[in-house]
Amino acid sequence: MSAFTSSPFSLTLGTLITIQVKAKNEYGWASSYSPSNIAGVVVETPPQTPSSAPVKGSSTSASQIEISFSSVSDATSYNLYWDEGLGGSLSLLVQLQGTSYIQTIAVQPGWNYTYAYSAMNIFGESGQSPSVSIQAVSVPSKMLAPLLTVIGTEVKISWLVPDNGGSAIIGY
């Protein structure tokens, strides 16, 4: 059926196709076409390939990654793919009914993860969306009060290093 959705036909999902035929032999064509088939056939195809990459959600941190993406017309579910933080090819992470997901398992602070998604319906799976790289990081945690120690005429200031949120601390 996918041949009917591309050029030269460019039919859309749900279009009813009916057919008439006539025969030809070495002496020419029959005088008329057959009656149309009554039932016809409906064009049925997988969803279109998503055109936009998944988006990093605001609750992404060093321990979880929130992903959302645009819905696709005619999709009934979605497959979310990832690279497991190792680079290279993407593998199936999860099948979803909605367009958002929070990953809390197998997330390492500071690692970069690449994600893409595809759309599904009863006729098959679309191609994968463009991919996005998301780093499992957040801002550093709130620091404890600094410790002040007087040594003669000098004051020593010290503090405990906070959780870095998955990214090296570059200043205080």
Higher pLDDT pick, 165 / 171: 171
Give the domain range for residue 151: 141-172
Residues 38-70 have pLDDT tens digits of 777 776 788 999 999 999 999 999 999 999 999
Report residue 3's pLDDT band, with 50, 70 and 90 as the boundaries.
low
Do 73 and 126 lie in one domain? The reply is yes
Task: Kindly tell me if the per-residue pLDDT of 116 is higher than 90.
Answer: yes
Provide mean pLDDT across the span 112-136: 95
C-beta neighbour count of 61 within 10 angstroms:
17
Do 78 and 120 lie in one domain? The reply is yes
Residue whose pair of structure tokens reads 């055109």 in the numeric block: 51
Both tokens assigned to 39:
């039932």
* Average pLDDT value for the chain: 90
Amino acid identity at 36: S
Total domains present in the chain? 3
Starting at the earlier edge strand, list the strands of the sheet with 55-56: 55-56, 65-68, 100-103
Both tokens assigned to 55:
């988006």
Backbone angles phi, psi at 151, to 5 degrees: -125, 100
Do 131 and 147 lie in one domain? The reply is no
CATH of the domain at 118: 2.60.40.10
C-alpha dist (Å) from residue 47 to 34, 129, 161:
34, 12, 50
